[in-house]
Amino acid sequence: MNTDKHADVLVVIPCLNEAAHLPHLLEWLTAETGDDALIVVADGGSHDGSRQIVEAAAERWPKVRLLANPGRIQSIGVNAAVAQYGRGRRHLIRIDAHAGYPKGFIRGLIETARTIGAQSVTVPMRTIGEGCFQRAAAAAQNSFLGAGGSAHRQGAASGWVDHGHHALMDLTAFREVGGYDEGFSHNEDAELDLRLTQEGGRIWLAADLAILYRPRSRPGALFTQYRNYGRGRAMTAARHKVRLKPRQAAPLLVAPSVAAAVIGLGFAPITPLALGLAAPAAAWAGLCLGLGVLTGLKVRDRCAMLSGVAAMIMHLGWSLGFWGERLSATLQPPRLPLLVRPAVADA
């Protein structure tokens, strides 16, 4: 491998308790990048042996670094890695510890960025699962029911997009827009993409570099994840005064519909008014469950027939997170907008 191609690359892995995935991931990354790329694991306080795995890898491969991330969240970890190790490097590549990557992924990102002239190269995500609920969640996230037609979730062709799963970014562009906003624990990638495109940056979706992603394996964890997604989207919409796309706005009806159903059916006897209040939620549940069964039949997986249940968890979590954030922001006293921490400049 010609390592000169990777001499200007900074690879950052935000990490929290990823001991199950780090050994294979670091082995693969060191082979993918040659000797000159720098690989930084920004650890948010792991207690499962992840730090020890990285420390052992750093002794074996001098290009591996362990960076403490006391802020814990990914946006802070990536910013800190850029601030400490980004000097003189051209490309930032963000790697998720629990995802699967195709051979030649790093090289493909770099060649695409240089050929297309994009400030950011994003990639599609194909979700896979192992246990029954995880397979149901994966089927939901791979379908219109769960992803709403999102380009990087639905196998779209390569082309210019306004958002995608973050993989590579030009470090100059990353610094110029201020890096990730550290007030965001979720949706920090979409928020950054808004600032990037507002400044004239262009984002390319590389359809041939799809990654494998494993969703949450438990209903409660999936609900919490999507509640945080909804909260992050509400923050982004409020910060930038942007309208939601139809696929983002549709789940907003879920939480009010469920609340109306609970109110209507919470009193006895059941009246026509109560049934009317419950009707929207019942229609939503029926649609999700029905489409979930069809999805399972299409992919010939019994567990995928439960994808409608997983989608309902995702919709409700997202809706509650969005409305909760909007209500919280309304009740709080006015405050100045959060400024992006200037730590993304070279130290």
Only one residue has tokens 């109110």, namely 263
Q: What is the pLDDT of residue 329?
A: 77
Three-class DSSP category at 39: strand
pLDDT interval class at 34 (50, 70, 90): confident
pLDDT at res. 333: 53
**pLDDT of res. 342:** 44
- Asked if residue 222 is part of any domain, the answer here is no
User: Is residue 80 in some structural domain?
Assistant: yes
Q: Residue 260: give the domain boundaries.
A: 237-331
Of residues 178 and 267, more confidence is placed in 178
Count of positions (residues) in the chain = 347
With bands split at pLDDT 50, 70 and 90, how would you rate the model's confidence at 3? very low
Position 285 pLDDT exceeds 60: yes
Q: Could you report the per-residue pLDDT of 139-150, keeping only the tens digit for each?
A: 999 888 877 656
Is there a single domain that holds both residue 139 and residue 209?
Answer: yes
The residue with tokens 């994966």 is 138
Mean pLDDT of 2-29: 86
Please give the residue that has the higher pLDDT: either 242 or 54: 54
pLDDT bin (cut points 50, 70, 90) of residue 5 is low
Cβ-based neighbour number of residue 301 at 10 Å? 18
Whether 345 is covered by a domain: the verdict is no
Rounded to two decimals, the pTM is 0.86
Instruction: Judge whether 144 lies within some domain.
Output: yes
Within this chain, do residues 190 and 250 fall inside the same structural domain, yes or no?
Answer: no
Neighbours of 290 (CB within 10 A): 12
pLDDT (mean) for 54-62: 95
Do 164 and 304 reside in the same domain of the chain?
Answer: no
Residue 335 binned pLDDT confidence (cut-offs 50, 70, 90): very low
Q: Does the residue 221 lie in any domain?
A: no
| Average pLDDT value over all residues in the chain | 89
Within-domain flag for 27: yes
Using the predicted structure, report yes or no on whether residue 84 has a pLDDT greater than 90. yes
Please give the share of the chain, as a percent, with pLDDT higher than 70: 90
- One domain for residues 94 and 148: yes
- Does residue 339 fall inside a structural domain? no
- pLDDT tens per residue across span 236-275: 999 998 888 888 888 999 999 999 999 988 876 788 888 8
Confidence band, pLDDT 50/70/90 cuts, at residue 2: very low
SS3 of 199, please? coil
**197 and 258 belong to one structural domain:** no
Q: Give φ, ψ of 119 to 5 degrees.
A: -80, -20
pLDDT band at 117 (very low <50, low <70, confident <90, very high): very high
Q: What mean pLDDT is predicted for residues 100-107?
A: 93
Give the tokens for residue 87.
């000097």
How far apart CA 34 and CA 3 sit, in angstroms, is 5
Do 210 and 259 lie in one domain? The reply is no
Cα dihedral: 197, 109, 146, 202 (round 10): 10
pLDDT for 95 equals 96
Residue that is written with structure tokens 């909260």 in the block: 231
Q: CA 227 to CA 240: how far, in whole Å?
A: 20
Averaged pLDDT for residues 155-161: 84
Nearest alpha carbon to residue 313 among 234, 229, 244, 245: 229
Separation CA 100–CA 128 (nearest Å) = 10
Question: Do 167 and 20 share a structural domain?
Answer: yes
Q: Specify the number of domains making up the chain.
A: 2
Is the domain of 199 the same as that of 254? no
Question: Which CATH number characterizes residue 202's domain?
Answer: 3.90.550.10
- Band the pLDDT of 328: cuts 50, 70, 90: confident
Distance CA 150, CA 159 (A): 13
Mean pLDDT of 59-82: 95
What pLDDT is attached to residue 98?
Answer: 85
pLDDT at 340 over 50: no
Please, which pLDDT band fits residue 154 given cuts at 50, 70 and 90?
low
Query: What pLDDT, on a 0 to 100 scale, did the predictor assign at position 1?
Result: 39
Regarding whether 296 and 150 lie in a shared domain, the answer is: no
